[in-house]
Amino acid sequence: ELEIKKMAKIGNKEACRVLAKQLVHLRKQKTRTFAVSSKVTSMSTQTKVMNSQMKMAGAMSTTAKTMQAVNKKMDPQKTLQTMQNFQKENMKMEMTEEM
């Protein structure tokens, strides 16, 4: 811009025209560069999101399989009995600690 002003002061219209065209071209190029940069950033973010979603789906699948296996092996009655025994023994221990 300063070059254009200098050329205008000395009356060199042809140089002003060429420099003005270059300036317009550079500004357009800058705008395009910003647009491409934002698109690349957006694609990078989308890739990261998809990657984390895939990992989450894998973890959920593994967890579901594990829970399914545990549910097959666990007997609800036996678990209830174990919990009741634990509670009974815990109460006994608390009583002996109080004495």
What's the whole-number mean pLDDT along residues 3-27? Answer: 91
pLDDT surpasses 90 at 79: no
Q: Sketch the domain layout of the chain as residue ranges.
A: 2-73
Nearest-angstrom CA–CA distance, 2 and 5: 5
Nearest-angstrom CA–CA distance, 99 and 97: 5
What's the whole-number mean pLDDT along residues 1-25? Answer: 90
- Radius of gyration (C-alpha) of the chain in whole angstroms: 37
Report pLDDT digits (tens) over 62-77.
999 999 998 888 888 8
For residues 27 and 4, the answer to whether their CB atoms sit within 8 Å is no
pLDDT surpasses 90 at 2: no
Q: Which band of pLDDT confidence, cut at 50, 70 and 90, is reported for residue 4?
A: confident
